[in-house]
Amino acid sequence: MGLNKLLKQMGFLALVFGIPMAFAEEHGGKGATDAYASIGAALAIGIAAFGGALGQGKTAAAFLDGVSRNPSARDKMFIPMIIGLALIESLVIYAFVIAFVKIQT
């Protein structure tokens, strides 16, 4: 029941932020959409950071669970875990760069 309520709230937020952007008019290069670009960039980096934190937490938990079950496999699991954490972090940095570029244009 909690997921259903969350999806309803996300749909409401999409309507609240989406409808004004659909009817916004631009007056030359930068105009009324600058505030919406900032809000969109903030939401994008927030969602990316949240997803990255969940992914890194799940990766670390799986590693610790595997090591606690089989301590001799630590050396074989350590490098793939570090590579996985680096790839997750690179996706968050990529979202940050896209949000930053979107605000500048």
Give domain limits for the chain: 50-105
- Number of neighbours of residue 99 by Cβ within 10 angstroms: 20
Q: Which residue has the higher pLDDT, 26 or 90?
A: 90
Residue ranges of E strands in the chain:
none
pTM score of the predicted model: 0.62
Token pair recorded at residue 40: 């969109």
Distance CA 58, CA 11 (A): 27
Assigned CATH class of 50-105: mainly alpha
pLDDT in tens, 3-56: 666 666 666 666 556 655 555 555 555 544 577 778 888 888 889 999 999 999
Nearest to 86 by CA among 59, 47, 64: 59
